[in-house]
Homo-oligomer: A and B are copies of this chain.
Amino acid sequence: MAVTSRDVARLASVSQPTVSRALRDDPRVSEDTRRRVREAADLLGYVPSEAGRALSSGRTRRVGLLVTDLANQFYAQVIAPVHLELEERGYQLMLHTESADNETVVERLIANGLDGVILATTTIDSVAPVRLRDRGLPFVYFNRTSAMVDADATVVRPERGFDQAVEHVIELGHRRIGAILGPSNTSTAQSRESALRAALAARGVTLDANYVRRCPFDTSAGDEAAASLLALAEPPTVIFCGNDVVAYGALNAARRAGVEVPDGVSIIGFDDLPAASWPIIELSTIAYDFAAMAREAAGLVTQRIVDPDSPIQHVEFGTTFVPRRTLGEASAT
Contact = CB atoms under 8 A, between A and B. Distances in A.
A113 B79 contact: no
Contacts of A2: 135-136
Interface in A78-118: 79-80, 83-84, 92-95, 97, 99, 107-108, 110-113
Contact of A252 (B50, B70, B280): B280
Contact of A219 (B108, B253, B278): B278
A113 B49 contact: yes
Given A219-B278, A278-B252, A92 B112 contact: yes
Given A93-B95, A97-B83, A136-B2, A51 B280 contact: no
A232 interface: no
A36 to B, nearest CB: 21
Nearest to A255: B279
Interface of A: 2, 47-52, 54-55, 60, 70-71, 73, 75-77, 79-80, 83-84, 92-95, 97, 99, 107-108, 110-113, 135-136, 219, 248, 251-253, 255-256, 274-275, 278-281
8 smallest CB-CB distances across A and B, nearest first, come from A51-B54, A95-B95, A255-B279, A76-B76, A252-B279, A51-B51, A83-B97, A51-B113
